[in-house]
Amino acid sequence: MLHSDPNLIVARTRDLILPGAEILGQYAVLGRYDFVMMVEADDNDAVARLSLELGMRTGLHLETLPAIPIGFMGDLQTPDPSDQAESVNLTPDFTPDEGPGDE
């Protein structure tokens, strides 16, 4: 479909206005995908509405990949379990001098 109309995406998004989502840029890319569209949105629902509308207008298969800033991941207040000390208790019947088979 893009081969017959290289401006299809630009033409179909020119007048696309959806509340809570704004197209920041469109880029042709090499590799697995043909193009990438950078969008800023209030939430994932707004991006989903934009993606569905664009898919209907262009007839293209779209994949939406929400991005989370890497710095945001470091601001989480949940403690890392590997940073916490863990105590180990031996069972009361076991002593280091006795092992399996010592009867």
Average pLDDT score over the chain: 78
Give CA 2 to chain center in angstroms: 26
Q: Which of 25-29, 65-69, 92-96 has the highest mean pLDDT?
A: 25-29
Q: How far is CA 82 from the centre of its chain?
A: 24
**What's the rounded Cα separation, in Å, for the pair 68 and 84?**
27
The single residue listed with the structure tokens 């509340």 is 19
More confident residue, 58 or 76: 58
Which residue ranges make up each domain of the chain?
1-61
Interatomic CA distance for residues 59 and 54, integer angstroms: 8
Residues 14-63: tens digit of each pLDDT = 888 889 999 999 898 999 988 899 999 999 999 999 999 999 988 888 89
pTM of the entire structure?
Answer: 0.59
pLDDT number for residue 60: 86
